[in-house]
Structure 1
Amino acid sequence: MGKGRILGIAYNVIPAKDLEVSAAWFVKHFGFNIRHQREGYLSLFRGDRPILDLIQSDNETRATFEVHQKKRWVITFFTDDIGSLHTSENVKVGAISDEGQYGKFFVLEDLDGNLFDLWEHHDCELNF
């Protein structure tokens, strides 16, 4: 490979059964805005930063995998207020886990069954 280097993750792609319904869910619960909408595809941004791309799926594929028969997520969102996100209306969430020096976490499921992890950590600097 050349001398270039990876600078970060530009965005993540997840499958969706109904783009409009899924996008509205993310806008409502996380304040994302919709950009670059085209046939079977749209981008969700937080301000000017790309976060997720939703792609219309032809089957029941979900952004999850299993470890020891337990479903796991592929994307972790960072937050500064895990408590308020945990109480979002009509969102399937797991219990908040306080892991001390590693922060607080909980898992949520979107309308399509994709799993996400939410993480709050006040000693971590992330550039957005």
Structure 2
Amino acid sequence: MSELIRVGTTYIPVVNVERSAEWYVNKLGAKLNYQDQDKAILDLANQSVFLVKSKENQTSNFVDVYDEERFSLTFEVNGLDALERTHKDFIDKEIYVGEIENRGHAGRNFVFSDLDGNKFDVWSELSPSFKEKFFISK
């Protein structure tokens, strides 16, 4: 049995650290903990996120076997109402967002992108272990 407990840090490639850090703070509500010319360290969605200065056209995305560019990170919200509010909020903040999708499993999702084209997913279902640990009910 593995003793891995949680994912502590996610690294996201960005071209302009200062501009990207400002975007994550203003658009997603991240908390900026540290910034220098090469990186910014943020608190976002109960995780540490490092924005790392990278070469242009670098993203955390990947291409699946069907040649579709995919995201590597899914954020969770607590229910469909929260997903719809988040979707509207992101549109109001002029964040690039896709449509709310039914992917044939529990809940609904939508995809959004940051300034550098890093794609992220938002899912309407909180994981049961997170709900239990933080005493969250619907």
Find the partner of 2:120 among 104, 116, 123.
116
Aligned-residue offset at 1:125: 4.0
Offset, 1:51: 3.3
Identity level (%): 26
Tell me, in whole angstroms, the C-alpha distance in 1 between the residues paired with 2:120 and 2:39.
20
Q: Please point out which of 6, 19, 26 is paired with 1:28.
A: 26
Task: After superposing the two structures, state which structure 1 stretch, 87-96 or 37-46, moved more.
Answer: 37-46
Going from structure 1 to structure 2, the CA distance change for 1:123 and 1:13 (only over 3 Å counts) comes to: closer
The answer to which structure has the higher helix fraction is: 2
The AA in structure 2 aligned to 1:52 is V
TM-score, normalised to structure 1's length?
Answer: 0.84
- What code does the residue aligned with 2:120 have? F
2:101 maps to 1:97: yes
- Could you tell me which runs of 5 or more consecutive residues in structure 1 were left unpaired when the two chains were aligned: none
Contact 2:74 2:121 in 1 (8 A): yes
Offset at residue 39 of structure 1 (A):
3.3
Check conservation: 1:43, 1:50, Cα contact below 8 A: no
Gaps of 5+ in 2: none
The one-letter code of the counterpart of 1:121 is E
Superposition pairs for residues 44-123 of structure 1, below 5 Å? 44-46=42-44, 49-67=46-64, 68-80=66-78, 81-87=82-88, 88=90, 89-99=93-103, 102-121=106-125
Render the CA deviation track for 1:74-121: whole Å, top value 9, x for unaligned.
011112311122122211111111357621110111110000001111
**Count of residues paired in the alignment:** 125
